Homo-oligomer: A and B are copies of this chain.
């Protein structure tokens, strides 16, 4: 019942040709007469022959596969980046295989090993913690690596990332442009570079505007619940202490703040209070008042990462490049009175 797998040899026998001819049909059809080609093709179809990629690679010394290791496939940023990378790779005849490190160093190491043993053309890595040693070792063995959402301080490999300082600046500029002057920044203790950068950008924007003031409020976490606590505290302030614009370090915080200020004090958004988040998660378009947010150019980052990698594969000695994208402002009802919701 279970016949052993069909090889190119079996196809050759059935078609009455040499193995080299079958290989030519597969890889250089033009070299083969059409009569032979058809005969071989029908043998292939009849036997259900499937190329053995292992043998192919062994001979070629290289695969047509790119390994992508992300911190969390569940994170929309990474899933849509992965999608874009796949598309871009497909256009270039390569395939992306995805590994999910789940922010775990050990899992990350496992995937790096697996991919290296599979002799992938190169890897796109969104690294956990310190990149240094592991990437160093990879590069020493000639494996092209491009970092994603992280720059390599030592410039040993190319990278694609986002300028969060610019994002923070952009967000607060937008509030200022709408005439807001008493701005609150909501974030966590700036453990994370990302949060610190966004705050730095916010500061910069406020400093450029003479009559504007920035107040920093610390949340316990980057969650809706933590946002609700912060929002509740703000909503209960005396009328004079109320801000007229709030910039939250991510959308979840912003959503929590929105829930609290709408329900506790019945403030109007954006009339009394303009609100802006960061990341533009899917849900932000569907909040009671649709949330203005700052979006990373995810698709572009995915495609660019693949491009940089392919570039390095073709010219291994080419210069490494750190591509830093500016994020993009997505205007919705929470800052722009024109758009109101609930039909």
Binding site for B on A (CB under 8 A): 1-3, 5-6, 48, 50-58, 61, 63, 72-74, 76, 79-80, 82-83, 86, 90, 95, 97-100, 102, 107, 110-111, 113-114, 116-119, 137, 140-142, 223-225, 228-229, 232, 252, 255-256, 259-260, 263-264, 283, 286, 288, 316-317, 341-343
Tell me which of B58, B80, B118, B343 contacts A228 (CB under 8 A): B343
Q: Please measure, in the bound complex, the distance between the C-alpha atom of A100 and the C-alpha atom of B96, giving whole angstroms.
A: 10
Query: Is B110 touching A90 in the complex (CB atoms < 8 A)?
Result: yes
Query: Is A58 touching B48 in the complex (CB atoms < 8 A)?
Result: no
Query: Is A286 touching B54 in the complex (CB atoms < 8 A)?
Result: no
Q: Please measure, in the bound complex, the distance between the C-alpha atom of A58 and the C-alpha atom of B86, giving whole angstroms.
A: 27
Q: Mind listing 12 A-B residue pairs with CB under 8 Å?
A: A5-B141, A50-B113, A54-B56, A54-B63, A73-B79, A73-B82, A73-B98, A74-B79, A83-B100, A228-B343, A255-B286, A260-B343
List the B side residues contacting A72 at CB < 8 Å. 79
Query: Is B98 touching A98 in the complex (CB atoms < 8 A)?
Result: yes
List the B side residues contacting A140 at CB < 8 Å. 48
11 extra interchain contacts, Cβ-Cβ under 8 A, other than A58-B58, A73-B98, A256-B286? A1-B317, A53-B54, A54-B58, A56-B117, A74-B83, A83-B100, A95-B111, A97-B98, A97-B99, A225-B286, A260-B342
Tell me which of B50, B86, B141 contacts A100 (CB under 8 A): B86
Q: How many copies does the complex hold?
A: 2
List the B side residues contacting A283 at CB < 8 Å. 224, 283
List the B side residues contacting A99 at CB < 8 Å. 97-98
Given contacts A5-B142, A225-B286, contact A52 B98 (CB under 8 A): no
List the B side residues contacting A264 at CB < 8 Å. 342
Nearest-neighbor residue (CB-CB) of A224 within chain B: B286
Q: Please measure, in the bound complex, the distance between the C-alpha atom of A264 and the C-alpha atom of B255, giving whole angstroms.
A: 19
